[in-house]
Amino acid sequence: MAKYDHVLKQLDDFKIELPSWGFADTGTRFGKFLQSAAARSIEEKLADAGQVHRLTGACPTVAVHTLWDFPSGKSIASVVKAAKKYGVAIGAINPNVFESQQYKWGSLTNRDPDIREQAFAHIRDSIEIARQVGSEYISLWFADGINYPGQADLIERKHLMADALKSVHDTMAENMTMLVEYKPFEPAFYATDIADWGMAMLFARAAGPRARVLVDTGHHYQTTNIEQIVAWLLDENMLGGFHFNDRKYADDDLTLGSIDPYQVFRIFHEIENHRFRTGKKPALAYMVDQSHNLKPKIEAMIQTVDTAQHLYVKACLVDRKALATAQAKEDLVASENILRAAFFTDTRPILAEWRKSHRLPIDPLAAHRASGYERRAAAKRSKGGKTDHSFA
């Protein structure tokens, strides 16, 4: 395994943040299918995240939603204490300016200044929570947009969003990064206010030097070349991180690599190619954004983390010097085969070696199933009680 020492060291630094909402009962606009072991409170979410981290050794932080995870009466200190109890820490803070009724016509781009101020006040509160829990990231996604031509002035909305994000940026602490996420459609089906990576990059640049773009791997049209977007954002020093999931049609929230693992590999390849070209490791936030209606939630998270580790290792195995030589000769077949050789490498022995060195189970999913955790959680949680958010 000596020839893989560099990969093992890179795995040590490859950390993936879990989403608190991924452990609760959530669903689609049509409804939800309840799971007896689903988390009902922030403490139960953190317990489940701690189980994933114990088995994978790769998920030390948990992203939280301000409204769902810090409900009225829940102290910030108690959430931090619970996270520590389960061996994790609070990660990215996600404001929620899309669920409440006042945001029917938008949040930061609402034509009503009072509603815009309510949205901004909530984001300020989220920034204060981030300060208190020691989070480095404020992760922003907006449902703002319009559904019909003529409904609103597109440029007015652009200016409102730009001004608001600049104010958000100026409110953050010096050690924080603002992540601006984009989505081409849903729930706005005519014009979404931040619809693609170019819009997100323009807004982030205008906001200030601590704003970056967040790429959700499910938020793209079918034929979009996501790895090219990643390469460009890296080259422009504007890539902040990822929300990992997979999709067949739109924002399907499927486990990573379940539909197109080669695409995820190509994304990691561009990240490692940037490191090879510049000699610098990009500072990126790798986060999961999945809410599973059907798969057991902890098992789905373990699947995603395991898949991400394997695909990341494959990208680390690309012979970049040989690739550069083949590219210089315009040898298309050799160039492609160098990538394919890395992708088709059996990385299970490498992951097994890394896990043994960290006293982790070789097969984290099998270890979870053998642990009885799901059965115990279901027995405890099925006795009653509601989850602490109503998002479906």
Please list the residues that pair with 140 across neighbouring strands.
Answer: 180
What is the pTM for the complete model shown?
0.95
Whole-angstrom distance, CA of residue 21 vs CA of residue 40: 10
Q: Residue 100 is encoded by which pair of tokens?
A: 């409440």
Tens-place pLDDT, residues 220-276: 999 999 999 999 999 999 999 999 999 999 989 999 999 999 999 999 999 999 999
pLDDT of 93-151, one tens digit each? 999 999 999 999 999 999 999 999 999 999 999 999 999 999 999 999 999 999 999 99
Domain 9-316 classified CATH 3.20.20.150? yes
DSSP string, 162-226: HHHHHHHHHHS-TT-EEEEE--SSSS-SSEETT-SHHHHHHHHHHH-TTEEEEEETTSS-TT--H
pLDDT digits (tens, 9 = 90+) for 32-79: 889 999 999 999 999 999 999 999 999 999 999 998 999 776 799 999
Interacting residues of 12 by C-beta distance below 8 A, sequence separation 6+ = none
Q: Which residues of 342-370 are buried (b: 16+ CB within 10 A; e: fewer)?
A: bbeeebeebbebbbeeeebbebbbebbbe
